[in-house]
Chains A and B, each alone.
Chain A
């Protein structure tokens, strides 16, 4: 068989897959939705910053100072939901989840500050969600210590009279790499994009393959001079093309303009790695499709594969925070490698020199899945 003929058949079969997709309006709409609106919503809707954190004030002092301090807890970070007089009331609000924290100011607050005695403000923070609890703590502590030092402490410490002009403070200059302003939208939109890419790249070729099995058209292909490779590869190739196209639209027409994300990384490399990822994942989809008989079964199997992939590949928990055993297991997940490589290129401007282990991982997973699928088709 000449290479020319092989290429011709590849082209014919790939065009066929694209035609199928083009005729499936519902699926097309779903794909377009996934790459645009869904990605946008994830990017816009999940800024993980403390926002209007509800707190209760139990002001036992009710003085000028206590008012002033409580007044420093302002939106958009904080939101006073109740100014109560008895602890039971604040406890109730905390129990019911209506308040994240309680700020309790002691009765001698004004008196102590005025007389230069140390006083103690208490915070009871609901820690059922640890991220907001910790954020609340750190912001609140800063506010309180600043208030104490600037408003009250400075006047009483005698520093002004001592002639000391500077203090031995640690001037910590924070430099955040890769996403200097901690734009959640960049991260969330990319994670959602990767999720959509994953779901589509595993589901579309698998469904296309099982549909041929169910309809019986696969028989017709197997009796033709097509090799198993030419039955499988066009399905993967066509979906890769579609997904790459969707990714392109998503990045250049949704994420970049709407979230002002700078694309400093090597974008051709990113698309290359994406294509590689789609190819590997599609291989897994085909492998799954090759062992089942009906579309219902393949759908169940795909969910079984996709759930851990989405949750454990690093979007919710970075690998270093996982137990060793899980960390070893997730090496088998292609999304884990894509995550490393894709985010590496976009955020960290990583080149092939840095991401080659991920590319290697993707190749091994893809090759294994592909080989399995081929072996099943041949039988």
Chain B
């Protein structure tokens, strides 16, 4: 291997990228735009759920019940309704996602110790969110109910509310959320978007860069010269890996400074893991470009693999633990999930190499494996 040749290939590639303004801007503008758009636009938190109430009882207790919802950060109270038909209209046009109907005699039923029916109406279109919303509504209702029952029993039985509480709910539950105390996706999502954006942006550039050369024929300069395969591949990948590394740095800066993501772990660990991941994604591009002949095919395959893979199987948007077993297997076969765990580790969990070394190892093995495939399949004397 000769480093001068590698540098010559790398320098030439860089010059071409640098002078092709469309390509250059795409190389940097694309990841940053995606990062900003997604980090601002995406939210996996189920908060500010638009809700409306039809209060037919209009009593003190019904108002108190409603207050539990309006005071919650999870709900965005849009107002009282006058007629059941309005619920229908509002849910269908998606102005509200949930509604509560409190029938007559709500207060009197409760005060007299009878169960009081209420109706919770929920838009089930977005199943995940509906499920979470359902959980919130039940939790709020149980909390309200508990207070009502305690009041009722302490009056009836003549004991202090404290005693009733202890007896009715003998086990208190204390929940502590680790790594992301506020349970807000704004803490966890921006760093994870680094995974997604790099996964889409880096292979895509490599594919276009290499297949372009195949398509227009200048690859024959490599075929016909005594530049070896590894010299060419390393020289060719260097600029793209560097671009991806710079992008990773920019994305990290955006996550930390613009979106205030906490960075708790070791910078050295993060940097080395990121370099490994960047190399890995770049090499994915290399492998795809070895197998395709046209840029369109290359971009299409890259798009499907990385966009679908990144959205569904990387653990960025869909928690791996919730997927079906088959799909969990798919996640484990793809590299992105391992890097997502590293990102979680250094941004949120504050864990170090002792915990994350298997992930680094998998990424490294993956990169080496792909490099071997790319190297073996790249021939200077093709069949066609």
Interface residues of A (CB under 8 A from B): 42, 44-54, 69, 92, 94-97, 100, 112-113, 116-135, 137-138, 140-142, 144-145, 147-149, 152-153, 156-159, 162, 164, 166-180, 182-184, 186-188, 199, 203, 207, 294-300, 302-304, 306-308, 310-312, 316-318, 320-323, 325-326, 329-330, 340, 343-344, 347-350, 354
Query: Does the CB pair A44–B303 fall under 8 Å?
Result: no
Q: How many whole Å from B52's CB to the nearest CB in chain A? A: 13
For B162, the closest partner residue in chain A by CB is A118
Q: Which residues of B contact A308 (CB under 8 A)?
A: 34, 37-38, 41
- Indicate whether B275 reaches chain A with its CB closer than 8 angstroms: no
In the complex, number of A-B residue pairs with CB atoms less than 8 Å apart: 364
Query: Does the CB pair B148–A179 fall under 8 Å?
Result: no
Query: Does the CB pair B170–A203 fall under 8 Å?
Result: no
Besides A47-B322, A149-B170, A178-B125, 19 other CB < 8 A contacts? A95-B345, A119-B170, A130-B185, A131-B132, A134-B46, A145-B171, A149-B168, A172-B141, A173-B117, A179-B130, A294-B295, A295-B296, A296-B215, A308-B34, A312-B37, A320-B50, A321-B46, A343-B125, A344-B92
Query: Does the CB pair B109–A121 fall under 8 Å?
Result: no
| A168-B176 contact in complex given A129-B319, A320-B50, C-beta closer than 8 Å | no
What would be 6 A-B contacts, judged by CB atoms less than 8 Å apart?
A45-B312, A49-B322, A156-B170, A179-B130, A182-B131, A318-B94
Query: Does the CB pair A203–B300 fall under 8 Å?
Result: yes
For A125, the closest partner residue in chain B by CB is B177
Query: Does the CB pair B351–A95 fall under 8 Å?
Result: yes
- Indicate whether B114 reaches chain A with its CB closer than 8 angstroms: yes
Interface of B, helix, strand, loop or mixed by DSSP = helix
CA distance A317 to B152 in the complex (A): 42
CA distance A302 to B299 in the complex (A): 10
Q: Which residues of A contact B165 (CB under 8 A)?
A: 118
Q: How many whole Å from B45's CB to the nearest CB in chain A? A: 6
- Indicate whether B258 reaches chain A with its CB closer than 8 angstroms: no
Partner of B116, one of A54, A168, A307: A168
8 A Cβ contacts from B130-183 to A: 130-132, 134-135, 137-139, 141-142, 144-145, 148-149, 152-153, 156-157, 164-181, 183
Query: Does the CB pair B178–A125 fall under 8 Å?
Result: yes
Identify the stretch in B204-212, B236-244, B362-370 within 8 Å (CB) of chain A at 4 or more residues: B204-212
| A183-B127 contact in complex given A120-B172, A308-B34, A312-B37, C-beta closer than 8 Å | yes
Partner of B351, one of A49, A96, A129: A96
Interface string of B245-271 (1 = CB under 8 A from A): 000000000000000000000000000
Query: Does the CB pair A168–B127 fall under 8 Å?
Result: no
Query: Does the CB pair B311–A310 fall under 8 Å?
Result: yes
| A116-B167 contact in complex given A130-B180, A177-B91, A308-B37, C-beta closer than 8 Å | yes
Query: Does the CB pair A131–B319 fall under 8 Å?
Result: yes
- Indicate whether B7 reaches chain A with its CB closer than 8 angstroms: no
Q: Which residues of A contact B42 (CB under 8 A)?
A: 311-312, 316-317
Q: How many whole Å from A326's CB to the nearest CB in chain B? A: 4
Query: Does the CB pair B171–A120 fall under 8 Å?
Result: yes
CA distance A308 to B37 in the complex (A): 7
8 A Cβ contacts from B31-65 to A: 34, 37-38, 40-50, 65
Query: Does the CB pair A307–B119 fall under 8 Å?
Result: no
Q: Which residues of B contact A51 (CB under 8 A)?
A: 321-324
Q: How many whole Å from A26's CB to the nearest CB in chain B? A: 8
Q: How many whole Å from B64's CB to the nearest CB in chain A? A: 11
CA distance A142 to B142 in the complex (A): 10
Q: Which residues of A contact B126 (CB under 8 A)?
A: 187, 318
Query: Does the CB pair A323–B40 fall under 8 Å?
Result: yes
- Indicate whether B93 reaches chain A with its CB closer than 8 angstroms: yes
- Indicate whether B113 reaches chain A with its CB closer than 8 angstroms: yes
Interface residues of B (CB under 8 A from A): 22, 26, 30, 34, 37-38, 40-50, 65, 76, 91-94, 97, 109-132, 134-135, 137-139, 141-142, 144-145, 148-149, 152-153, 156-157, 164-181, 183-185, 188, 200, 204, 208, 211-212, 215, 294-296, 298-300, 303, 307, 311-312, 315, 317-319, 321-324, 326-327, 341, 344-345, 348-349, 351, 355
Which 5 A-B pairs rank lowest in CB-CB distance, beginning with the nearest?
A: A296-B295, A299-B299, A179-B124, A148-B171, A138-B135
Q: How many whole Å from B51's CB to the nearest CB in chain A? A: 11
Q: Which residues of A contact B30 (CB under 8 A)?
A: 304
Q: How many whole Å from A51's CB to the nearest CB in chain B? A: 6
Query: Does the CB pair A97–B139 fall under 8 Å?
Result: no
CA distance A2 to B164 in the complex (A): 88
Q: Which residues of B contact A166 (CB under 8 A)?
A: 113-115
Q: Which residues of A contact B167 (CB under 8 A)?
A: 116, 153, 156-158
Query: Does the CB pair A169–B319 fall under 8 Å?
Result: no
Q: Which residues of A contact B169 (CB under 8 A)?
A: 118, 145, 148-149, 153
Q: How many whole Å from A102's CB to the nearest CB in chain B? A: 9
Query: Does the CB pair B296–A176 fall under 8 Å?
Result: no
| A170-B48 contact in complex given A141-B173, A300-B299, C-beta closer than 8 Å | no
Query: Does the CB pair A296–B296 fall under 8 Å?
Result: yes
Query: Does the CB pair B311–A187 fall under 8 Å?
Result: no
CA distance A46 to B110 in the complex (A): 41
For A190, the closest partner residue in chain B by CB is B125
Query: Does the CB pair B172–A118 fall under 8 Å?
Result: yes
CA distance A357 to B51 in the complex (A): 22
CA distance A291 to B44 in the complex (A): 36
Query: Does the CB pair A303–B303 fall under 8 Å?
Result: yes
| A176-B122 contact in complex given A145-B171, A317-B44, C-beta closer than 8 Å | yes
Query: Does the CB pair B124–A45 fall under 8 Å?
Result: no
CA distance A33 to B139 in the complex (A): 43
CA distance A131 to B323 in the complex (A): 13
Q: Which residues of B contact A307 (CB under 8 A)?
A: 34, 200, 307
| A119-B171 contact in complex given A95-B351, A323-B41, A326-B37, C-beta closer than 8 Å | yes
Q: Which residues of A contact B152 (CB under 8 A)?
A: 167-168
Q: Which residues of A contact B319 (CB under 8 A)?
A: 129, 131-132
Query: Does the CB pair A171–B118 fall under 8 Å?
Result: yes
For B148, the closest partner residue in chain A by CB is A168
| A46-B318 contact in complex given A118-B172, A135-B132, A179-B127, C-beta closer than 8 Å | yes
Q: Which residues of A contact B50 (CB under 8 A)?
A: 320
Partner of A178, one of B111, B123, B170: B123
- Among A48, A144, A186, A188, the most chain B Cβ lie within 10 Å of the Cβ of A48
Query: Does the CB pair B120–A132 fall under 8 Å?
Result: no
For A161, the closest partner residue in chain B by CB is B157
CA distance A143 to B45 in the complex (A): 24
Query: Does the CB pair A348–B322 fall under 8 Å?
Result: no
For B306, the closest partner residue in chain A by CB is A303
Q: How many whole Å from A260's CB to the nearest CB in chain B? A: 15
For A185, the closest partner residue in chain B by CB is B127
